[in-house]
């Protein structure tokens, strides 16, 4: 490899494949893969290597970026703002262990490293993830959001009981002026136990003074889209932002049925909103508004906001979308542990996951329909792993409707434990010659301190992908002379690492394995600076 070059942006890159001009990094990359076919009669496998040349462009100027959270006043929303303000203003605080400094632990972009290469003795050299290519510094994010509850963000951190008391006290002066924007509440979509919280809603009808009962207009849905669009535009203009990202971290909604003629195409879903169809949820309103404003939209909750019609709308508008459901603790570990067992040739027979938590998310999930959304997104996380090994799980042995692995998910609301979610998992597997292996995992931690770094990463990486474009170069190495580059595909499956039930482009299956998800991000960063994909052959050591 030619010696790496430095440049005014201080990016190490391989000049054989990359160049920088006018703050744009251009990288050439040959993507290699293998087409595998299996003869159904003889089971003979044939392989055909394929190659495709690409040219990538990355704008190296990091734009001024704003983030609008739906559910701003919730545990995640208020912890997200707290983490940014604590780091930005370098707020240290005391807990029972002594003085603590603010940090971004748990954020892959801020607190993890990537292997870049080796030194001349063959030892691995790692560099911070965020030092390779320019990424937004989370301290620079401009933050706002909507909530159906009017509490200001200083009140919210007290209510959420996530942060140490000393940190809360020090943050409150910075947070009290953050007031959530009014949101949209259609009572049918989140649990009825959230009804009392809804006092900050654009669609509230002036109350009937006799009964004191709150009423909400659910028959003006297109107007609701327009109001959210106006909020996005105003935030962008008021703060002179180049880029805004909208992220749903509000309560889990119930799932909606996919209905022909209603939410199956982009035209139908727009009509269904205009006709106030009952299966149009608040999250549909937010996602539609964001897509129409060409603003990336990320779904951090499990509900199926991305029905076919909405995906089609995002594709047609070339607007980035990603989801569903943050992959924080239990599920992240599950996607690692199951991969380990299956790759080791050990056969998981059952996985039982029990949770109890006492925060507002837990209260909402104590309602069956909302729990069902969570159950679906949590269940899918082992699918790709099981499918990858037909020695352990022969396809023809899985009887119709039967499951290769018994997988159960239980979530109970237990107020006393607050945000300190308890997750207990048992992995029961078959070993050789009739043996069995039982792994029990007991995990306790502040749920929102696991989820917030994921929100940071999702925002930072979504902004990064907004600056990346590419074009294909034909097999003779001839590129068309046009300066037309395509954006990455609107369904941002690159973000799967942070999501429990990754949304994928139609026709493709999600990748759940954490290692494979991270590998894709690492190798993308590497190719952009002209390095080959990482392998662990270590020939310096292993061959003479
Ligand atoms: P939370 O209940 O503390 O916060 C949700 C907030 O959303 C509340 O303040 C509520 O008032 C608000 N809200 C409800 N409907 C709204 C609407 N239509 N518009 C605007 N605001 C609305 O919950 P949380 O712990 O912050 O979790 C948020 C979401 O993230 C949940 O759906 C949860 O399932 C999901 N999630 C959390 C984790 C985690 O580890 N914390 C992991 C994966 C997914």
Q: How does pLDDT run across 149-179, given as a tens digit for each residue?
A: 999 999 999 999 999 999 999 999 999 999 9
374 catalytic residue (yes or no): yes
Lookup result for tokens 């020090």: 170
Query: Hey, whose CA ends up nearest to atom 1 of ligand 1?
Result: 74
Long-range own/partner contacts, residues 472-475 (CB < 8 A, 24 or more apart): 472/52, 472/53, 472/54, 473/28, 473/53, 473/54, 473/55, 474/53, 475/51, 475/53
Catalytic residue status for 327:
no
Query: Per the residue annotation, which of 147, 224, 324, 325 is the catalytic one?
Result: 325
Nearest-angstrom CA–CA distance, 485 and 55: 9
> What spacing in Å lies between the alpha carbon of 249 and ligand 1's midpoint?
5
Q: How far is the CA of 415 from the centre of ligand 1 (A)?
A: 16
CA of 543 to the centre of ligand 1 (A): 53
Nearest to 496 by CA among 468, 470, 519, 476: 519
pLDDT of res. 9:
60
Residue with tokens 């208020």: 78
**Is the pLDDT at 461 greater than 90, yes or no?**
yes
Q: From 68, 70, 72, 76, give the residue whose CB has the most ligand 1 atoms within 8 Å, as the site to mutate.
A: 76
Over residues 70-87, the pLDDT tens digits come to: 999 999 999 999 999 999
- Which residues' Cβ are closer than 6 Å to ligand 1? 70-71, 73-77, 146-149, 183-185, 190, 197, 249-252, 282, 300-301, 325-326, 328, 359-361, 364, 447-448, 450-451
Q: Catalytic residue at 421?
A: yes
Share of the chain above pLDDT 90, in %: 78
Architecture per CATH, 65-100+134-322: 3-Layer(aba) Sandwich (3.40)
Residue nearest to atom 8 of ligand 1 (CA): 74
Q: Kindly state the tokens that stand for 444.
A: 């306790």
Question: Whose alpha carbon is nearest atom 12 of ligand 1?
Answer: 71
Residue of the CA atom closest to atom 30 of ligand 1: 249
Parallel, antiparallel, or unpaired for β 297-299 and 321-322?
Answer: parallel
Query: Distance (Å, rounded) from C-alpha 323 to C-alpha 302?
Result: 8
Which of 71, 202, 253, 254 to mutate for ligand 1's pocket (most ligand atoms within 8 Å of CB)?
71
Q: Dihedral of CA 147/359/78/319: which sign?
A: negative
Two tokens, residue 144:
């706002």
Q: Could you read off the pLDDT of 441-460 as tens digits, one per residue? A: 999 988 899 999 999 999 99
Does the domain at residues 3-62+450-540 carry the CATH identifier 3.30.2360.10? yes
What is the CA(511)–ligand 1 centre distance, in A?
A: 25
The pLDDT score that the predictor gives to residue 214 is 86
pTM: 0.95
Q: Judge whether 76 and 256 are in contact, CB under 8 Å.
A: no
Phi/psi of residue 205, each to 5°? -95, 135
199 contacts: CB under 8 Å, gap ≥ 6: 148, 149, 150, 214
Atom 42 of ligand 1, nearest CA residue: 326
Q: How many alpha carbons fall within 13 Å on the CB side of residue 494?
A: 22
| pLDDT value of residue 397 | 65
Catalytic option among 221, 236, 347, 374 = 374
Q: Domain extents for the chain?
A: 3-62+450-540, 65-100+134-322, 330-447
Parallel/antiparallel/unpaired status of strands 347-357 and 406-413: parallel
Q: What pLDDT sits at residue 332?
A: 87
Mutate to test the pocket of ligand 1, among 107, 200, 249, 453 (most ligand atoms within 8 A of CB): 249
pLDDT in tens, 297-348: 999 999 999 999 999 999 999 999 998 999 988 888 888 999 999 999 999 9
pLDDT category at 399 given cuts 50, 70, 90 is low
CATH 3.30.360.10 fits 330-447, yes or no: yes
**Burial annotation 357-378 (CB, 10 A radius, 16+ → b, else e):** bbbbbbbbbbbeebbebbbbbb
CA dist 6 and 24 (Å) reads 14
Q: Do the strands 420-430 and 406-413 form a parallel or antiparallel pair, or are they unpaired?
A: unpaired
Distance 248 CA to ligand 1 centre (A): 8
H or E stretch covering 83: helix 75-88
- Give the start-end residues of each E strand in 236-382: 243-248, 297-299, 321-322, 347-357
Ligand 1: nearest atom to the Cα of 253: 32
- Counting every residue written for the chain, the total comes to 544
In tens, the pLDDT along 201-225 reads 999 997 766 677 889 999 999 999 9
Q: 71 alpha carbon to ligand 1 midpoint, in Å?
A: 6
Q: How far is the CA of 185 from the centre of ligand 1 (A)?
A: 13
493 DSSP assignment:
G
**Helix/strand/coil (H, E, C) string of 530-544?**
CCCCCCCCCHHHHCC
Full DSSP string of 214-271: -EE--S-HHHHHHHHHHHHHHHHHHTT-SEEEEEE-SPPPPP----TTTTSSHHHHHH
ipTM over 0.90: yes
Q: Is residue 419 among the annotated active site residues?
A: no
Does pLDDT of 6 surpass 60?
A: no
DSSP-assigned letters across all residues of 145-204: EEESS---HHHHHHHHT-S-HHHHHHHHHHHTT--PEEB---TTSS-GGGGGG--SBTTE
In this predicted model, what pLDDT tens digit does every residue of 10-42 receive, in sequence order?
778 899 999 999 999 999 999 999 999 988 888
Q: Which residues make beta-bridge pairs with 429?
A: 348, 437
Atom 31, ligand 1: residue with shortest CA distance: 251
C-alpha 508/C-alpha 499 separation (Å) is 16
């Amino acid at each position: 490899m030619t010696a790496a070059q430095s440049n005014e942006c201080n990016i190490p890159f391989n000049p054989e494949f990359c160049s920088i001009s006018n703050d744009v990094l251009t990288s050439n990359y040959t993507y290699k893969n293998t087409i595998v076919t299996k003869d159904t009669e003889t089971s003979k496998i044939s392989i055909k290597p394929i190659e495709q040349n690409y040219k990538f462009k990355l704008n190296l100027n990091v734009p001024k970026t704003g983030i609008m959270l739906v559910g701003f006043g919730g545990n995640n929303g208020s912890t997200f703002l707290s983490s940014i303000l604590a780091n930005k203003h370098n707020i240290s605080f005391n807990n029972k262990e002594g003085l603590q400094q603010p940090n971004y632990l748990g954020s892959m972009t801020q607190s993890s490293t990537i292997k870049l290469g080796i030194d001349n003795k063959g030892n691995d050299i790692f560099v911070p993830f965020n030092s390779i290519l320019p990424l937004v510094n989370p301290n620079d994010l401009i933050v706002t959001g909507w909530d159906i509850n009017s509490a200001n963000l200083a009140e919210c951190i007290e209510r959420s009981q996530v942060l140490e008391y000393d940190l809360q006290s020090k943050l409150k002066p910075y947070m009290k002026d953050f007031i959530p924007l009014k949101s949209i509440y259609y009572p049918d979509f989140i649990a009825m136990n959230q009804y009392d919280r809804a006092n900050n809603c654009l669609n509230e009808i002036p109350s009937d003074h006799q009964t004191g009962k709150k009423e909400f207009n659910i028959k003006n849905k297109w107007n609701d889209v327009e109001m959210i669009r106006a909020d996005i535009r105003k935030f962008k203009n008021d703060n002179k932002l180049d880029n805004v990202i909208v992220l749903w971290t509000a309560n889990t909604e119930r799932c909606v049925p996919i209905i022909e003629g209603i939410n199956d195409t982009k035209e139908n879903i727009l009509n269904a909103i205009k006709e106030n169809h009952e299966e149009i949820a608040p999250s549909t309103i937010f996602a539609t508004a964001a897509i129409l404003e060409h603003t990336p939209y990320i779904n951090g909750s499990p509900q199926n906001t991305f029905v076919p019609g909405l995906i089609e709308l995002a594709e047609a508008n070339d607007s980035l979308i990603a989801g569903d459901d943050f992959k924080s603790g239990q599920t992240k570990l599950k996607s690692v542990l199951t991969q380990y067992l299956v790759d080791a040739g050990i056969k998981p027979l059952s996985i039982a996951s029990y949770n109890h938590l006492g925060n507002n998310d837990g209260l909402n999930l104590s309602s069956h329909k909302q729990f069902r959304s969570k159950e679906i997104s949590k269940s899918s996380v082992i699918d790709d792993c099981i499918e990858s090994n037909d020695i352990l799980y022969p396809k023809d042995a899985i009887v119709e409707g039967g499951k290769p692995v018994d997988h159960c998910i239980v979530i109970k609301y237990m107020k006393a434990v607050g945000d300190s979610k308890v997750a207990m998992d048992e992995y029961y597997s078959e070993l050789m010659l009739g043996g069995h292996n039982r792994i029990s995992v007991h995990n306790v931690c502040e749920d929102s301190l696991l989820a917030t770094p994921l929100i940071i990463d999702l925002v930072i990486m979504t902004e990064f992908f907004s600056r990346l474009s590419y074009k294909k170069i034909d097999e003779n190495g001839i590129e068309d002379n046009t300066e037309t580059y395509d954006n990455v595909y609107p369904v941002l499956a690159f973000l799967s690492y942070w999501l429990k039930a990754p949304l994928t482009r139609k026709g493709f299956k999600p990748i759940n394995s954490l290692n494979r998800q991270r590998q894709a991000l690492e190798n993308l960063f590497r190719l952009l600076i002209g390095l080959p994909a990482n392998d662990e052959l270590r020939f310096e050591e292993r061959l003479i």
